[in-house]
Amino acid sequence: MSTYETRLKALREQMQKDGLDGFVVPICDEHMSEYVGDYAQRLSWLTGFGGSAGSAVVLKDKAAIFIDGRYTIQVRDQVDGKLYEYVGTADQSVIDWLGANAPQGSAIGYDAWLHTQDWAKSAAAKLDKAGAKLVAVEVNP
């Protein structure tokens, strides 16, 4: 089992302990900085992706990594396609993907320090339409 496969498995185990069916991992810090310090490289730690922009969503049975057009080749070199679906942000946003893929009745976690209030409102509305809910976690898994 690869390092990233092990980390993905560990996140899923923690999600289950926390009563979550999914979790959103952006590439940012609590200051919404353009340049993220090593201490906050959660996306890189989880997936291996080293670009400066991206996000991942992990559900119980699938996961996706979201990148813009600058990283089309890089993401395929750094992130295992057996573990993550590659999604271009020009094709589908994290919020739209969640709306289409979050199971009905599911609870999707996010760290409120790492997302804007507008993002959280939009994601909550999309998930509500899909019969799911967005849940702010107290501790980032």
* pTM of the predicted structure, to 2 decimals: 0.93
**Neighbouring residues of 113: CB distance < 8 A, sequence distance ≥ 6:** 30, 140
Structure confidence at residue 91 (pLDDT): 94
Assign domain 3-136 to its CATH superfamily. Answer: Creatinase/prolidase N-terminal domain (3.40.350.10)
Kindly list the domain boundaries of the chain, sorted by start residue: 3-136
3-state SS assignment for residue 1: coil
* CA–CA separation, 141 and 13 (whole Å): 10
Structure confidence at residue 99 (pLDDT): 96
Structure confidence at residue 28 (pLDDT): 84
- Can you name the residues that pair with 108 across neighbouring β-strands? 22, 134
Structure confidence at residue 40 (pLDDT): 62
Note down pLDDT in tens along the chain; length 141 residues: 789 999 999 999 999 999 999 999 998 868 777 677 677 689 999 999 999 899 999 999 999 999 999 999 999 999 999 999 999 999 999 999 999 999 999 999 999 999 999 999 999 999 999 999 999 999 898
Nearest 5°: the CA angle 47, 50, 53 is 95
